[in-house]
Amino acid sequence: MSDQTRKKLQHFWRHFTYLVIDEISMISRSFLAELSKNIGIGKERIGKLPNFHQFAPVVGGSADALYQPIDLARDKGNQQLGRGIYDEFTTVVILKQQVRVTDEVWRDFLTHLRYGRVQEHHLHMLRKLVITDASAEPTNFTTAPWKDAPLVTPRHSVRRQWNKSAVRKHCREIGNQLFIAPAEDTIKGQPLTLLEHYGLACRGAQVPGRRKSQARADLPDKIEMAVGMKVMVTTNVKTDLDITNGARGEIIDIVLDPREPAPSAGNIVELKYPPAFILVKMAQTRA
């Protein structure tokens, strides 16, 4: 979008107040009723980006989904009120033009998938994407596009191992140093006391009753990095500049802490302190 177009849109919408709700399927009837008490839905412009069956509501489950009709014997007041508010929406805008997927074959598959009309040739196409399938195209991880292929995995431990191997491979090929920075734990900006260090160490141990998912989600004690390393944003930092969850970039400089001794000339450098800052060039922003 050009700056001129953006200014025109900003000028047009400057006097409007509106709310956009993404993933509307996760909103329950009860929540919609509570929302109406705080923002006055009747006076606002509400935009909903729905797939009503993609995810169940966060609270209440599918039984409290917006599309569920009122059951006077079961539903509470807020559930009935939320359904009544939902029924007041009369304008539906269907977005038909796909702008995120440019591959024609994949777009055709997604279109058929959306309406439950997947054909045999779509299944054949999907099977060819499985690298272990006999019909898959030969895979060479030393050449493009596989050379720089990202990994998508729900496994925290797999992601860590993949990142560790990837950054070392990058350093071998480019000849850059690998920096290993320690975590610096603080509480309200202050260093941890001896008792707090002990509590942190116990938290990382196998404590009875602690869920494994909690241990897997812990932040690492050390971070490995190198100039030229690919990175991804995992939280919304600056949405108006497109520095959001999923945005990608590349480390172009690592500035060490002033307390850090001069690093050695070795391939791997163990730092005593976290870097002062890391300069990342984003692949795409609105800046």
List per-residue pLDDT tens for the chain, 287 residues long. 678 888 888 888 888 777 777 777 788 899 888 888 877 665 445 555 556 666 678 777 788 888 888 998 888 999 999 899 888 887 777 777 767 778 889 989 988 988 889 999 999 999 988 888 888 878 887 888 787 777 888 787 888 888 899 899 999 988 999 999 998 888 888 888 889 888 877 876 655 555 554 545 567 788 999 999 999 898 888 888 888 888 999 999 999 999 999 888 889 999 999 999 999 999 988 76
Cβ contact 8:1 at 8 Å:
no
Element (H, E) at 231: strand 230-232
pLDDT of residue 118: 94
| Coil vs helix vs strand at 222 | strand
CA distances for 147 relative to 144, 165, 179, 245, angstroms? 5, 13, 23, 24
Whether the predicted model's global pTM rises above the 0.85 cut: no
pLDDT of residue 272: 92
First-to-final CA distance of the chain: 12
pLDDT of residue 123: 93
Smallest CA-to-CA distance from 17 within 51, 50, 40 is with 40
Other Cβ atoms closer than 10 A to 255? 11
Cβ contact 32:5 at 8 Å:
no
| Coil vs helix vs strand at 110 | helix
Element (H, E) at 198: helix 194-204
pLDDT of residue 2: 77
Smallest CA-to-CA distance from 163 within 174, 152, 175 is with 152
Please list the helix, strand and coil fractions of the chain in percent, rounded to the nearest 5, in that order: 35, 15, 50
In angstroms, the CA 107 to CA 99 distance is 10
